[in-house]
Amino acid sequence: MIKQPAHIENIPAYKPGKSTVDGWDGPVYKLSSNENPYPPLPSVIQAITDAASTMHRYPNMAAPELTAALAQRLGVKESELAFGTGSVEVAGQLIRAFAGHGDEVMYAWRSFEAYPILVRGAGATPVEVPLTADHRHDLPAMLAAITPATKVIFICTPNNPTGTAVGHEELRAFLAQVPPHVLVVIDEAYVHFQSDPDAARGLELYREFPNVAVLHTFSKAYGLAALRLGYTVARPEVMEGLAKVALPFGVTDIAQAAGVASLLAEPELQARIDVLLEERAKLEAYLATTDWDAPASQANFVWLAAGEETDALQAHLMSRGIIGRAFSGTGIRISVGSPEANEALVEALGSYNRGLF
C-alpha cells in the first residue's frame, strides 16, 4: 500500500471557509474567506474575455505586461517581481527555495493557516511563536527563537486572523537584528486595507534590508480571488531560488490580463476599498460598545477572540446566515462585507446571549 512519508502524514489538510448554511432560508453572507464583496469591474471582465481567445496556448511565463505595469506602479525594478498562482503559492515557493529538511521556518501563531502546511510540505520544521495577549506579533520572542537552523521568518502584517499590524519602526528594529542570511517574508496580503500610518510598510523595509521579500496578492483588495494571482517583490538572489521551484505556466494569461486591467482601474477599486474601510469602522464602533475582545483591525476582517465561546457564537451566527471563520477555542474571524452583510452581522451579534453557553 502506498504510504505518506512521516513529514507529510501529520499535516492537517487546509480547510477552506464554509460557503453554505443548513436549515436557513434567509440571505446568506459568506464572510469566511476575506473576499472582496464586489464582483470584478466591467473593464476587468472585458480583459478576461479578451484573453480567453488564446487559451489554446500556454501562458507567457514572463508576464511582460503585468510585470511592466506593476513595476511602474510600485516603483520597483521588473527583475524584482515574481508572480505565482496566488500569494499562497509564492509563499510555498519561497519556503521550498530557501528551507528544506533540518531547517526551521518561523512565524507567529496564530497566523495564516497555510504556513504550517507549506513548511511541513517542504520537509522543514515549523517554529510557531505565540502572539502577545493583545493578539500582536511578539517580535522580541521571535528574535529569541532564532537558531542556526532558522532559514525563513514570516511576518504576516496585517495578521490573519487577528487584523493587527506590526509597527513600522518595531519591524525595522527587528529586521536590523535578524541575521542577514535569514529570509524575512513580509506577508502583506491585506496591506491595501491598512490605514494606520505607523503600521509597517514592507516595500520601504525591502529597500533597506536585502533579506526581505514582500508578498502581495490580487485576491483581496483587487477582488480577483478566483484568478489566483499573487507576487513577491524581492532581490535577484531570491528570484534565482524561486525560478527553480516555481510551477511552470502557473499564472494564466487570463490572470495576467486581469491584473493589468485592475492596475488601470485602481481609482475605481480604491473607491470600493474606501467603502469597506467605512464599514470596518462602523463594525469596530459597534464592537467597542460590547465586551467582546476584538482588536483594532488593519485588514478587511475583524477578529472576535471568543475563546471557549467560539463554537457557540459560530453556531448562533450560522443560524442567522452569517458564515465567519471559526477557530475552535480561540475565536472567529469575520470578513468586512457589504453594508447589508455588516448590518446583519451586528444584529446577529446583538441577539447573542453571552455566558449562556
**Residue number with the shortest CB distance to ligand PMP?**
86
Phi, psi of 29 (to 5 degrees): -115, 110
**Interface stretch with ligand PMP, choices 13-21, 200-208, 217-225, 327-335 (CB under 6 A):** 217-225
* 37 touches ligand PMP (CB under 6 A): no
Closest CA to 208 of 156, 172, 154, 167: 172
Angle, helices 339-350/266-288, rounded to nearest 10 degrees: 10
Closest contact distance (angstroms) between CB of 156 and ligand PMP is 5
Binding mask 77-96 for ligand PMP (x = CB under 6 A): ---------xxx--------
* 252 touches ligand PMP (CB under 6 A): no
Judge contact between 139 and 171, C-beta under 8 A.
yes
Closest CA to 276 of 305, 302, 248: 302
Cell of 202: 514592507
Q: Is 29 helix (H, G, I), strand (E, B) or coil?
A: strand
Closest contact distance (angstroms) between CB of 353 and ligand PMP is 31
* 112 touches ligand PMP (CB under 6 A): yes
Closest contact distance (angstroms) between CB of 84 and ligand PMP is 8
Q: Is 93 or 160 the residue whose CB approaches ligand PMP more closely?
A: 160
What is the rounded distance in angstroms from the CA atom of residue 104 to the CA atom of residue 95?
10
Judge contact between 267 and 280, C-beta under 8 A.
no
* 321 touches ligand PMP (CB under 6 A): no
Closest contact distance (angstroms) between CB of 218 and ligand PMP is 7
* 296 touches ligand PMP (CB under 6 A): no
* 217 touches ligand PMP (CB under 6 A): yes
Classify residue 289 as exposed, middle or buried by CB count within 10 Å of its CB (0-12, 13-18, 19+): exposed
Interface residue with ligand PMP among 31, 127, 156, 265 (CB under 6 A) is: 156
Q: CA separation (Å) from 220 to 38, 182, 347? A: 10, 28, 25
Q: CA separation (Å) from 83 to 58, 141, 163, 243, 261? A: 16, 32, 25, 10, 16
Closest contact distance (angstroms) between CB of 345 and ligand PMP is 19
Interface residue with ligand PMP among 125, 160, 298, 342 (CB under 6 A) is: 160
Judge contact between 220 and 335, C-beta under 8 A.
no
Q: Is 255 or 348 the residue whose CB approaches ligand PMP more closely?
A: 255
Q: Residue 56 contacts by C-beta under 8 Å, 6 or more apart in sequence?
A: none
Q: Is 151 or 333 the residue whose CB approaches ligand PMP more closely?
A: 333
Interface residue with ligand PMP among 103, 170, 187, 309 (CB under 6 A) is: 187
Closest contact distance (angstroms) between CB of 95 and ligand PMP is 13
Judge contact between 93 and 213, C-beta under 8 A.
no
* 324 touches ligand PMP (CB under 6 A): no
Closest contact distance (angstroms) between CB of 255 and ligand PMP is 11
Beta bridge partners of 334: 302
* 225 touches ligand PMP (CB under 6 A): yes
Measure CA of the first residue to CA of the last residue in the chain; give whole Å: 46
* 230 touches ligand PMP (CB under 6 A): yes
Closest contact distance (angstroms) between CB of 323 and ligand PMP is 15
Count of residues that bind ligand PMP according to CB under 6 A: 13
Interface residue with ligand PMP among 36, 67, 93, 219 (CB under 6 A) is: 219
Residues that bind ligand PMP (CB under 6 A): 34, 86-88, 112, 156, 160, 187, 189, 217, 219, 225, 230
